[in-house]
Amino acid sequence: MEIAEDNSSPDLDRNGSCWATAKVDPAAHERKDIRIIFGYGSIMWRPALDYTSSFPARVKGYVRRFWQSSVDHRGTVDYPGRVATLLRCKDLPHTSSRDRAEGEQEGVWGMAYVLKDDGFDDTMRMLDIREKNGYTRTVATLYDADDKAIGEAFLYYGSIDISENPMYTGPGRCENDC
The pLDDT assigned to 14 comes to 44
Decide if pLDDT at 153 tops 80: yes
By C-alpha distance, which of 166, 168, 142 is closest to 39?
A: 142
Decide if pLDDT at 167 tops 70: yes
The pLDDT assigned to 17 comes to 53
* Mean pLDDT of the residues in the chain: 83
CA atoms within 13 A on the CB side of 169: 22
Beta strands, E only, 89-127: 108-115
Domains contained in the chain, CATH given: 24-161 (3.10.490.10)
The pLDDT assigned to 54 comes to 97
Q: Is 152 a catalytic residue?
A: no
Decide if pLDDT at 38 tops 80: yes
Give 107-152 pLDDT, tens digit per residue: 899 999 999 999 999 999 999 998 887 889 999 999 999 999 999 9
- Which has more confidence, 72 or 158? 158
The pLDDT assigned to 173 comes to 60
Average pLDDT of the residues in 33-48: 92
Average pLDDT of the residues in 38-42: 92
Query: Is the CA virtual torsion 151, 154, 157, 162 positive or negative?
Result: positive
Global pTM reads 0.83
- Which residue is catalytic, options 5, 102, 104, 131? 131
Decide if pLDDT at 96 tops 80: no
Decide if pLDDT at 102 tops 70: no
Average pLDDT of the residues in 64-87: 83
Average pLDDT of the residues in 74-88: 84
> Torsion angle, CA of 168/172/176/177, rounded to 10 degrees?
30
Q: How, if at all, do strands 51-59 and 108-115 pair? A: antiparallel
